[in-house]
Amino acid sequence: MPSRDRIAEPWGSRTPYGPGQEWPVRVDGHLAEGVTPDQVERWVQSATVLHSNGDALDIAVRGDRVVGVRGRAADRVNRGRLGPKDLFGWQAGNAEDRLKRPLVRRDGELVETDWDTAMGAVVRRSRELLDEQGAGALAFYTSGQLFLEEYYTLAAVAHGAIGTNHVDGNTRLCTATAAESLKESFGSDGQPGSYADVDHADVIALYGHNMAETQTVLWSRVLDRLAGPRPPALLCVDPRTTPVAREADLHLAPRPGTNLALMNGILHELVRLDRVDHGYVDAHTVGYEELVERVAEYPPEYVADVCGVPAGDVREAARMLGDAERLLSTVLQGFYQSHQATAASVQVNNVHLIRGMLGRPGAGVLQMNGQPTAENTRECGADGDLTGFRNWSNDAHVADLAAVWNLDPARIPHYAPPTHAMQIMRYAEKGSVRFLWVSATNPAVSLPELRRIRSLLAGQDLFLVVQDIFMTETAELADVVLPAATWGEKTGTLTNSDRTVHLSEKAVDPPGEARPDLDVFLDYARRMDFRDRDGEPFPQWHDPESAFEAWKRASAGRPCDYTGITYAKLRGGSGVQWPCNADNPDGTERLYADGRFWAAPDQCESYGRDLVTGAPADATGYAAMNPSGRAVIRAAEYLEPHEAPDGQYPFSLVTGRTLYQFHTRTKTGRVPQLRRAAPEVWVEVAPSDAEDAGVREGDLVEVVSPRGAVRARARIAGIRPGVLFVPFHYGYWDSEDRGGGEDVPKDRAANEMTVTDWDPVSKQPLFKTSAAGLRLLEPGGGTPAPAPTTTASRPVGEGVPETRGGPGAMAEERVEGGS
């Protein structure tokens, strides 16, 4: 079987195909050094949890240890392929320094204890605060990386049993805008498009989405189309020369934070050229006239000025989109983590609505997710959403959920919109939230303005519970640390960006006393003695499968209907796309194929918000605007970014990802192949800016914002002049050279510099627009920056050695019908 260095070749070999053809199968796999396929004792079905793509795989087990992975040929998502994080990332679970016992803080120190003592402390503090202050003293901050069953349980416990409004996920930092833009346009969350649209599209547009690095397998699908007959045209909107930009037919590199102006300019041209499907607009939408009026103010010359892109390119982009017969658009953090995130993302939906490009092969929108299970956080309501995409402002929806849970509706708080994560942190800082339970997220690295976050998490009056698999920067600040079992050690379901549900089965036992997150949440509920209306223990379920069956009842009749799915159905073959029910027993490839939306006043998940101010509409206003539940075309004016570059801080600072690392690196930092490919933080600087600052490749520089600074090596790269890029993966924790205690340097994390500010509509923080300065600290003496060469950080100059994985990074590749 051929094998390849998948650090050097992240996307593997090409399997070209043409429009409307099936994407060929290519099965990728990797086993631990010294393990041969015949030594594998069991293959256990699962899917990846290091991004949102949902690549299906089997876990290789030998001697109760995970020893490798192999892609699943039968699956619709990846057809056997795996990316570098999928191939090598599983090793993190085997790390020696996993958390194995609970910890409690005694005399200032975290010390090991047993589960009874640790849970006893959590329950005692919960009860005290419920008595003293009520449910509003308790807050829960969870993840996009647990399983559906775990979120559903947490939502039931927090919203239902405790009755607190303070429940959110790190999905607020991630896909809050995806959810919100879908609600605004279509009445409800739910991804319209399908990955299979890549097979059919004649134009693919990527907006602020570096798919090549963040969804490597989906990018392989695009690359295979590009290598085949009649390839699609590609549009890329990103201030950096990412691998996507390099393949694009047209690359627009706008000034950060100007996406809405650009979209308004493109819509201006589409309207002017009358590339509008008036039949579709008349039959299925409201709001078109308002859009026409608004975008009239955005001629290409004006937009060119605002965005810093040539007017001809704006026209050319509109021509591409206007000529498309099957248009696929994808949107991600370059749009979402910005000050007019929802307003800009909604304009991408508008392009599809006015062009009638929805619900048929190749014509789809993917308002992408980032995390593997962010979709489930939202469906289950473990973030600011109400379980099952119900509407907080609709009493009938709340009563319906209360009936499913067999609780009194008054117990589910719905007097105000749920508290978003940034506001929960604010309440913790101010002292009204006094108990915060953090599960599967590392806010001491991933939230903006870290000095502030560290200080509020360490606050004396805040009882902090951290449930993780490693000792993280956040866990170090906790009062109680709960050791969790993780992927491969527990069973549950997960749903990817295009609504494909996979089952991930337990392959091995967790280390030490670590327990599945589901068990921990249920154990808490039992110890708190929560009861339903009949006096029975609440939640009424007790293990993954009974939790899933309970969830199915909560999803029945809602857009995310799971009633046709069982664990048994998910075993053996491909994942299944929701809605899956009696009408759609095999799942549903695309939403809205019939031009009908979940937007009727009594059905919709939200009555919508003003796209500029975020002010919510009420039931009456919504019913007057959209009585028959059509898709809503919403327009918005462009506003300047809040923190514009100026004298002391002349750069726009953009933060984001690199292909080989995942988030705060608790996993990928423990995987040799991935760790070595991008071992340390760097900053990307444009050649002209580097020259002005006297900075050369590899020099040590300081990047500074009004809030903090980062010291990093400079990579002279393809990035828009005036913009700096810093990857956000590097916290002060490090598995190899961690000093510990007070001496640990705190000047590596990008979020030392980012700003406490959010999109007014989705409340997603602005990780992509702050002002920053750049200063040379020390020449590098010719040693290049520790940044990969295979990615957006590819150097513009010569002489930097290519990123390679070497012998340990070889992975098998078997092309069906090939050798």
Which parts of this chain interact with ligand MGD (CB under 6 A)? Answer: 51-52, 143-146, 170, 173-174, 207-210, 213-214, 237-240, 242, 254, 256-257, 259, 332-335, 337-338, 370-371, 439-443, 445-446, 467-470, 472, 484, 486-487, 517, 654-657, 659, 661-664, 666, 728, 750-751, 754, 767-768, 792
Confirm if 59 and 66 have CB atoms less than 8 A apart. Answer: yes
Residue 6's binding partner out of Mo ion, ligand MGD, none, with CB under 5 to 8 Å set by partner kind:
none
Give the shortest CB-450-to-ligand MGD separation in angstroms: 9
Residue 181's binding partner out of Mo ion, ligand MGD, none, with CB under 5 to 8 Å set by partner kind:
none
Gap between the Cα atoms of 118 and 103, Å rounded: 7
Give the shortest CB-69-to-ligand MGD separation in angstroms: 16
Residue 54's binding partner out of Mo ion, ligand MGD, none, with CB under 5 to 8 Å set by partner kind:
none
Q: Pick from 29, 370, 483, 731 the residue near Mo ion by CB under 5 A.
A: 370
Gap between the Cα atoms of 243 and 654, Å rounded: 17
Give, in order, the Cα–Cα distances in Å from 298 to each of 313, 331, 608, 610, 755: 14, 21, 24, 20, 29
Give the shortest CB-90-to-ligand MGD separation in angstroms: 12
Give the shortest CB-504-to-Mo ion separation in angstroms: 19
Give 318 or 580: the residue with its C-beta nearer to ligand MGD.
318
Give the shortest CB-657-to-Mo ion separation in angstroms: 9
| CB contact set of 289 (below 8 Å; sequence gap of 6+) | none
What angle, rounded to 10 degrees, do the helices at 450-457 and 421-430 form?
A: 60
Q: Of 175, 655, 179, whose CA–CA distance to 369 is shortest? A: 175
Give 376 or 581: the residue with its C-beta nearer to Mo ion.
376
Give 244 or 611: the residue with its C-beta nearer to ligand MGD.
244
Give the shortest CB-255-to-ligand MGD separation in angstroms: 7
Give the shortest CB-371-to-Mo ion separation in angstroms: 5
| CB contact set of 55 (below 8 Å; sequence gap of 6+) | 47, 48, 71, 75, 77, 78, 81, 82, 83, 86, 217
Residue 785's binding partner out of ligand MGD, Mo ion, none, with CB under 5 to 8 Å set by partner kind:
none
Residue 605's binding partner out of ligand MGD, Mo ion, none, with CB under 5 to 8 Å set by partner kind:
none
Give the shortest CB-174-to-Mo ion separation in angstroms: 3
Q: What are phi and psi of 162, to 5 degrees?
A: -80, -40
Give the shortest CB-659-to-ligand MGD separation in angstroms: 5
Helices (H), 156-210: 176-186, 197-200
Q: Is 458 helix (H, G, I), strand (E, B) or coil?
A: coil
Give the shortest CB-651-to-ligand MGD separation in angstroms: 13
Piece of the chain touching Mo ion by CB under 5 A; list 258-266, 365-373, 384-392, 771-779: 365-373
Spell out where 13-144 has E strands: 26-31, 42-47, 56-61, 66-71, 103-106, 109-112, 138-142
Considering only residues 179 to 218 of the shown chain, the ones binding Mo ion according to CB under 5 A are none
Number of residues assigned to the chain? 819
Give the shortest CB-49-to-ligand MGD separation in angstroms: 7
Gap between the Cα atoms of 448 and 421, Å rounded: 11
Give 192 or 765: the residue with its C-beta nearer to Mo ion.
765
- 157 is a site residue for Mo ion (CB under 5 A): no
Residue nearest to ligand MGD (CB): 370
Confirm if 502 and 47 have CB atoms less than 8 A apart. Answer: yes
Give 339 or 499: the residue with its C-beta nearer to ligand MGD.
339
Confirm if 593 and 359 have CB atoms less than 8 A apart. Answer: yes
Piece of the chain touching Mo ion by CB under 5 A; list 169-177, 186-194, 409-417, 731-739: 169-177
Q: Is 555 helix (H, G, I), strand (E, B) or coil?
A: helix
Give the shortest CB-674-to-Mo ion separation in angstroms: 18
Give 143 or 394: the residue with its C-beta nearer to ligand MGD.
143
Give 174 or 401: the residue with its C-beta nearer to Mo ion.
174
Piece of the chain touching Mo ion by CB under 5 A; list 98-106, 172-180, 481-489, 793-801: 172-180
Give 53 or 164: the residue with its C-beta nearer to ligand MGD.
53
Residue 472's binding partner out of ligand MGD, Mo ion, none, with CB under 5 to 8 Å set by partner kind:
ligand MGD
Give CA 49 to chain center in angstroms. 11
Q: Count the residues of the shown chain that bind Mo ion, applying the rule CB under 5 A.
A: 2
Helices (H), 41-83: none
Give 170 or 423: the residue with its C-beta nearer to Mo ion.
170
Q: In what order do the strands lie in the sheet with 500-504?
A: 492-495, 500-504, 576-577
Give the shortest CB-281-to-ligand MGD separation in angstroms: 26
Give the shortest CB-441-to-Mo ion separation in angstroms: 10
Gap between the Cα atoms of 172 and 435, Å rounded: 20
Residue 515's binding partner out of ligand MGD, Mo ion, none, with CB under 5 to 8 Å set by partner kind:
none
Give 119 or 332: the residue with its C-beta nearer to Mo ion.
332
What angle, rounded to 10 degrees, do the helices at 176-186 and 341-354 form?
A: 40
Give 363 or 678: the residue with its C-beta nearer to ligand MGD.
678
Give the shortest CB-453-to-ligand MGD separation in angstroms: 11
Give the shortest CB-401-to-ligand MGD separation in angstroms: 26
Residue 643's binding partner out of Mo ion, ligand MGD, none, with CB under 5 to 8 Å set by partner kind:
none
Confirm if 301 and 732 have CB atoms less than 8 A apart. Answer: no
Give 484 or 580: the residue with its C-beta nearer to ligand MGD.
484
Q: In what order do the strands lie in the sheet with 3-5?
A: 3-5, 810-815, 26-31, 66-71, 56-61, 42-47
Q: Pick from 56, 174, 271, 750 the residue near Mo ion by CB under 5 A.
A: 174
Give 209 or 255: the residue with its C-beta nearer to Mo ion.
209
Q: Residue 65's beta-bridge partner residues?
A: none
Helices (H), 514-611: 517-528, 544-555, 567-570
Confirm if 706 and 645 have CB atoms less than 8 A apart. Answer: no
Residue 793's binding partner out of Mo ion, ligand MGD, none, with CB under 5 to 8 Å set by partner kind:
none
Give the shortest CB-558-to-ligand MGD separation in angstroms: 25
Give 201 or 217: the residue with its C-beta nearer to ligand MGD.
217
Piece of the chain touching Mo ion by CB under 5 A; list 275-283, 363-371, 625-633, 639-647: 363-371
Dig out the tokens for 726 from the structure: 């810093």
Helices (H), 285-332: 288-295, 300-307, 311-323
Confirm if 178 and 331 have CB atoms less than 8 A apart. Answer: yes
Gap between the Cα atoms of 320 and 294, Å rounded: 22
Residue 80's binding partner out of ligand MGD, Mo ion, none, with CB under 5 to 8 Å set by partner kind:
none
Dig out the tokens for 163 from the structure: 């009755």
Residue 656's binding partner out of ligand MGD, Mo ion, none, with CB under 5 to 8 Å set by partner kind:
ligand MGD
Give 163 or 372: the residue with its C-beta nearer to ligand MGD.
372
Whether the ω angle into residue 579 lies within 30 degrees of 0, i.e. cis, is yes
Q: Of 13, 22, 89, 21, whose CA–CA distance to 55 is shortest? A: 89
Q: Which residue has the tokens 């990008």?
A: 750
Give 394 or 666: the residue with its C-beta nearer to ligand MGD.
666
Work out the angle at residue 401's Cα, subtended by the Cα atoms of residues 393 and 556, and round it to the nearest 5 degrees. Answer: 110
Gap between the Cα atoms of 369 and 292, Å rounded: 30
Q: Return the exposure string of 548-557: e unless at least 16 CB atoms fall within 10 Å of the residue's CB, then b.
A: bebbbebbee
Give 450 or 631: the residue with its C-beta nearer to ligand MGD.
450
| CB contact set of 152 (below 8 Å; sequence gap of 6+) | 380, 381, 382, 387, 547, 550, 551, 554
Residue 659's binding partner out of ligand MGD, Mo ion, none, with CB under 5 to 8 Å set by partner kind:
ligand MGD
Residues that bind Mo ion (CB under 5 A): 174, 370
